Amino acid sequence: MPHTSRRHRKPAPNHGKRIQITDDDGWVHVVNSAQTTTRPKKQPSRYITTDGSSDDHTTSPFSSSSNPNASSSHQDKILPAEAPPRLTLSALRLKFDADLAAWQSSGTWQLLKESLVRILSTVLNSPNGDSSKITNVVCIGLGSPSGLRDGWVDRRDVASFQLAALVSLIELLNEQQFLSSLYQEKKEELDMKFVAQDPIFNTLDKQLLSSLGISVVNSPDGFTAVSANTLLFAPGAEKRHLEMLLPMDPVLVFGGPLEEHAPWFYTNESHDHGKGELKRFLEGRESVQLAEFGPKPEAFWRMRVYWRNRYELR
């Protein structure tokens, strides 16, 4: 006689594994694996560590994500962050304005601002003239202020506060550029460019950045915009990005802390501690560390601002 009273357990749904992959531009993505059975793959996914070091030299950092030789399955996994369906630009801007007010009233920004006024005053008024002029601000790897990474990784608050820091830096830079001796002598029009690059920006993110005077560009335009006259804002840049951006010798760099990554920041050609790109960069820089940001400590955890040590602070 069958045991009709026995309860049968339903098999647990297979949600797939969450894995990290890197695209052809060096960006790290956390994705869902849709596979429920073992199937042969034409091209296996590239698994990476969080610092992006496992395949740093397999592709060029400047290669386009639209590379026709890339597998379609790999490209399909790289999507913009998913914003809530009812979120509007006005609501997103209201939240950002609140985060901006919280950032600018914080002790973290007030202390950093004091240091930046001295740094920018010295850099912009140096006898090097045009070589010290900051012509653009480039933001790499901000993240999405409005959406979730692959539908579940939530870094919206971190990205929003970091965007608030970027906007504050731009405002302060504009003020200091106007007061600089170079501008006062030549009366040149301040025509700085402000650009941001991140493949996960969605439509709302782009609209928000545009409303703040920041242009969103596709890879590799953000990378190639970095020069010796750039303020590089890179709190979320990966190792392979820094390897190609730091040798451009940007005037100021916001990010890091770079010092803690020195042991792994050496090229394949040399593991000598005197020869890494990061080592060379740090040897020519001074830096100041940000104080802890109370509302969201992880947004600026131990980050620093780096500037060329060829200038003597006033």
The whole-number pLDDT of residue 125 equals 79
Q: Give whichever of 1-15, 179-193, 217-231, 298-312 has the largest mean pLDDT.
A: 217-231
The whole-number pLDDT of residue 86 equals 96
Whether 63 is in a domain gets the answer: no
Rounded to 5 degrees, what angle do the CA atoms 119, 124, 128 make? Answer: 120
The whole-number pLDDT of residue 60 equals 41
CATH number at residue 290: 3.40.50
How far apart are the C-alpha atoms of 263 and 285, rounded to whole Å? 18
Q: What confidence tens digit (pLDDT) does each residue in 95-133 have?
A: 999 999 999 999 999 999 999 999 998 888 777 655 568
Tell me the backbone φ, ψ of residue 263, rounded to 5 degrees: -60, -30
Name, in order, each residue with C-beta under 8 angstroms of 199's C-beta and a sequence gap of 6 or more. 23, 25, 27, 65, 78, 80, 219
The whole-number pLDDT of residue 50 equals 30
Whether 71 is in a domain gets the answer: no
Range of the domain at 230: 89-308
Whether 270 is in a domain gets the answer: yes
- Rg of the chain over Cα atoms, rounded to whole angstroms, equals 22
Whether 25 is in a domain gets the answer: no
Question: How many domains are contained in the chain?
Answer: 1
Residue 150 pLDDT > 70, yes or no? no
Whether 94 is in a domain gets the answer: yes
Do 48 and 54 meet the contact criterion of CB atoms below 8 Å apart?
A: yes
The whole-number pLDDT of residue 279 equals 79
Whether 120 is in a domain gets the answer: yes
- Look at 214 and 243; give whichever has higher pLDDT: 214
Q: What confidence tens digit (pLDDT) does each residue in 41-83 have?
A: 444 333 222 333 333 333 444 444 434 344 444 444 568 999 9
Do 233 and 173 meet the contact criterion of CB atoms below 8 Å apart?
A: no
Whether 70 is in a domain gets the answer: no
Whether 49 is in a domain gets the answer: no
pLDDT band, very low/low/confident/very high, at 179 (cuts 50, 70, 90)? confident
